């Protein structure tokens, strides 16, 4: 059964975050809130975690997994950005956007699009997410918590625990979760390409 952690939305309890960090370090898969719905999360390089997300969501090998970090300064180790891309991403973060960028060699192969060698990256504007990333001390490999038989991502922690109790290891809930998925913008080419319109204003990339 998945462990359930209910933390304060403004001051998440460090003890709970430390317990979740240990679960992630031990190879666990969690559900956690962001500024745009709940997401699946596991540690970077967790091949079994990736396989579990793919099984739960029925994903193929072309799915862009997302690297979630807590600051813009940390992106440079994982992605390549031309000057215009650098400025565009910096202006829009933190916030409800996922950017598709060219990956550096630091990104595990299992996260990459098999042909484009790209990866999704994101810096959420959410107190609990940022506190979790700080407790973990590393990026999270992530994917929107959208189940194959659902039209919309899940936004309620107890519902997630009920549905996925034996498929994930923990649910982190702070109540204050966004209800729309991110806006996805592909910046790996010569011009921005909006792949999905969600919570983030896409006008800057049109």
Q: What is the pLDDT of residue 110?
A: 77
State whether residue 61 is helix, strand or coil.
coil
Whether omega for the bond prior to residue 40 falls within 30 degrees of 0, making it cis, is no
Q: What is the pLDDT of residue 185?
A: 97
Angstrom distance (rounded) from CA 146 to CA 143: 8
Place of tokens 């209800």: 179
The residues of the chain scoring below 70 in pLDDT are: none
Domain coordinates in residue numbering, the chain: 3-205
**Helix/strand/coil percent split, the chain, to 5:** 30, 25, 45
Per residue in 121-164, pLDDT (tens digit) is 999 999 999 999 999 999 999 999 999 988 888 889 999 999 99
Q: What is the pLDDT of residue 120?
A: 92
Q: What is the pLDDT of residue 142?
A: 95
Q: Look up the CATH number of domain 3-205.
A: 3.90.870.10
Q: What is the pLDDT of residue 115?
A: 77
Q: What is the pLDDT of residue 31?
A: 98
Angstrom distance (rounded) from CA 47 to CA 110: 7
Q: What is the pLDDT of residue 16?
A: 98
pTM beyond 0.85, yes or no: yes
């Amino acid at each position: 059964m998945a462990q359930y952690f209910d933390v304060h939305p403004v001051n998440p309890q460090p003890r709970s975050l430390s317990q979740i960090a240990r679960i992630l370090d031990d190879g666990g898969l969690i559900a956690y809130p962001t500024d745009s719905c709940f997401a699946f999360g596991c540690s970077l390089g967790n091949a079994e975690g990736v396989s579990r997300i793919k099984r739960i969501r029925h994903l193929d090998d072309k799915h862009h997994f997302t690297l979630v970090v807590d600051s813009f300064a940390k992106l440079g180790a994982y992605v390549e950005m031309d000057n215009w891309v650098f400025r565009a991403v910096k202006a829009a973060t933190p916030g409800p956007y996922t950017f598709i960028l060219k990956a550096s060699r630091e990104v595990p192969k299992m996260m990459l699009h098999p042909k484009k060698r790209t990866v999704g990256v994101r810096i959420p504007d959410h107190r609990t997410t940022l506190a979790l990333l700080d407790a973990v001390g590393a990026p999270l490999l992530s994917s929107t918590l959208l189940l194959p038989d659902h039209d919309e991502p899940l936004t309620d922690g107890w519902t997630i625990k009920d549905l996925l109790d034996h498929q994930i290891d923990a649910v982190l809930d702070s109540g204050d979760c966004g209800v729309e998925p991110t806006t996805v913008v592909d910046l790996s080419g010569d011009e921005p390409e909006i792949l999905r319109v969600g919570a983030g204003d896409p006008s800057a990339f049109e």
